Amino acid sequence: MFKAESNSIKSIINKNWQQIHDEQPTDESVNLLGSEALIRSLMAEDVDIMFGYPGGAIMPTYDILHQFQKEIKHVLVRHEQGAVLAAQGYARASGRVGVCIATSGPGATNLITGIADAQIDSTPLVCITGQVHKDLLGTDAFQETDIIDISMPITKWNYKITEAKEIPAVIARAFFIAKSGRPGPVLIDITKNAQMDFLDYSYKKCLHFNSYLPEPTPKLQSIKDAAELINQAKKPLIVFGQGIILGEAEDEFKTFLEKSGIPAAATIMGLSAIDTNHENYVGMVGMHGNYAPNLLTNQCDVLIAIGMRFDDRVTGTLDTYAQQAKIIHLEIDNSEINKNVRVNVPVLGNVKYTLPQITDRIIEKEYSQWREEFRKLDKEEYQAVIKDDLTPTKQALTMSEVINMINDLTNNDAIIVTDVGQHQMATCRYAKYSQTRSLITSGGLGTMGFCIPAAMGAKLAKPERTVIGIVGDGGVQMNIQELGTIMQTQIDVKIIILNNEFLGMVRQWQELYFDKRYASTEITSPNYQMLASAYQIASSKIAKREELKKSLQTMLDTDGAYLLEVMVGQEDNVFPMISPGDSVSDMRLK
């Protein structure tokens, strides 16, 4: 959601705040401390786990939280950024609202990167921060920071609670806003006096409020127009994003695919919305996506964009993107319509409800000749790129063959969490998924340090599933302190460090566009095995191809956390690639 729209929502919500108090239920209430009201409100929203770090301004709430350890599990992270990223991993894996908590000042500001990440990737979070006593606001008191103004551009909503009586209604509204419509992060700042004062407490979940329409009402004419365009198409292409996952529309999408017969390509955030072995799936679009769907974007006659936002990494240069095509855009957020790419038929609404109405109106087809064009380009990509990536003749291991071996050993059934860089692109290109919510990555913000905390959150959300974190030697050192959280909480997460002794993606750009001037991209790592041992985590290190399968199997078979360091080629590049400023038609194989 854009700043203008986000601020509009804030003004709607904040206008006549007395309205919220009027919404308080008339059921029998109980006299409670504000801090206990906060914890009981979280319990009323079915919160069972939260990630955080205590401090002075939030201490009254932690004091009460200690009394509710059976109801809400608190995970003590080692840095507040770890808390918000872990909450993201939890939300992305479970589909529920992730919750994190921190103190005022630096505790609150340490959440900012993760909140910005959640905003651009539409992840539902409720972030709670402590604040100094209301009488000290604006005095530059110890650990006072105006987190409301700081976080305003990167939250879906935020609010400062200064009186205990506000707590139930604000928390109810926070959860409703975070998870409704296009999800996003909400920040609630609570002064210390509000936590320590008493209120007459009762709780009622928020289901709606005036002037806020999280899901636009679909227009029947748009649905009819979309179906008509699809029925007339000779070379249609679907590009789908995370909107399918957020809308829980995976079944509806599969039905649409199989009736339409249309080739479908994923954005990075859309990966795992359908089984990657589905016959209609033709790969990933974007800067390091697959050759066929990128090139044929500029040859299709109808482009059907479903739950995606036409990010610049998907479109390349806009003035050459799909100029020949009629474009249908299924989207829940009106601000995304015509933001980057002009569309012919906008279909507003949750795709879970709009897509079946289009499916009912389309003609069943096969597009066999059109799909053959994808297969021809797939063969070109295989010979030029994939063959060498997966069955290399060179001595050094490749990132891609590591990912491919993980597919084989997990039967495509693991949750894969990545950091940001070359390993992220290799994972997105080669990992396979058999069920939804199986790829968790920082898509829009590209946050290094994302992997370890997010993998922790994902495993705690889905303890029955294998969770594997794929991280580079650069990103792993940004939040490596969270190995302490893994140790203390005994989280059974598997971490693979793909170590090329470089900040690999930056180095690739330096090679291609800066005449191999590797400025500040060579990076030295600690002894990860000694470090893992210090955190009581099993580990090993390999550099030979013949060791790969056995080492991965050992990692998967080990009870508890495991850290595997794999040494890979130092100057390997990720291809294909769309160079900055180029069209999707100009994608280079080498």
Q: Is there a catalytic annotation at residue 69?
A: no
pLDDT band for position 29 (cuts 50, 70, 90): confident
DSSP state at residue 531: H
Beta carbons of 124 and 182 less than 8 angstroms apart: no
Question: Which positions ≥6 away from 104 have C-beta within 8 Å?
Answer: 55, 56, 57, 58, 129, 130, 131, 132, 143, 144, 145, 147, 189
Q: What is the mean pLDDT of the chain?
A: 94
Examine the residue annotation and report whether 550 is marked as an active-site residue of this protein: no
Which is the catalytic residue, given 36, 80, 252, 381? 80
Over residues 491-547, the pLDDT tens digits come to 999 999 999 999 999 999 999 999 999 999 999 999 999 999 999 999 999 999 999
- Per-residue pLDDT reduced to its tens digit, 381-428: 999 999 999 988 878 999 999 999 999 999 999 999 999 999 999 999
Residue from 165, 179, 192, 494 carrying the catalytic annotation:
192
pLDDT exceeds cutoff 80 at 9:
no
Compute φ and ψ for 31, nearest 5 degrees.
-80, 120
**pLDDT digit string, tens, across residues 147-166:** 999 999 999 999 999 999 99
Q: Tell me if residue 144 is catalytic.
A: no
| pLDDT value of position 27 | 52
What local confidence, expressed as pLDDT, does residue 395 receive? 85
The DSSP element (H or E) to which 10 belongs, if any, is helix 3-14
Active site residue 567: no
Q: Which residue is catalytic, options 142, 198, 323, 383?
A: 142
Query: What is the C-alpha separation between 443 and 428, in angstroms, rounded?
Result: 11
Catalytic residue (one of 284, 505, 577, 587)? 505
Name the pTM for this structure. 0.94
Q: 447 pLDDT exceeds 70?
A: yes
Q: Is the pLDDT of residue 5 over 60?
A: no
Active-site residue (options: 24, 143, 481, 488):
143
Active site residue 505: yes
CB 277 within 8 A of CB 432: yes
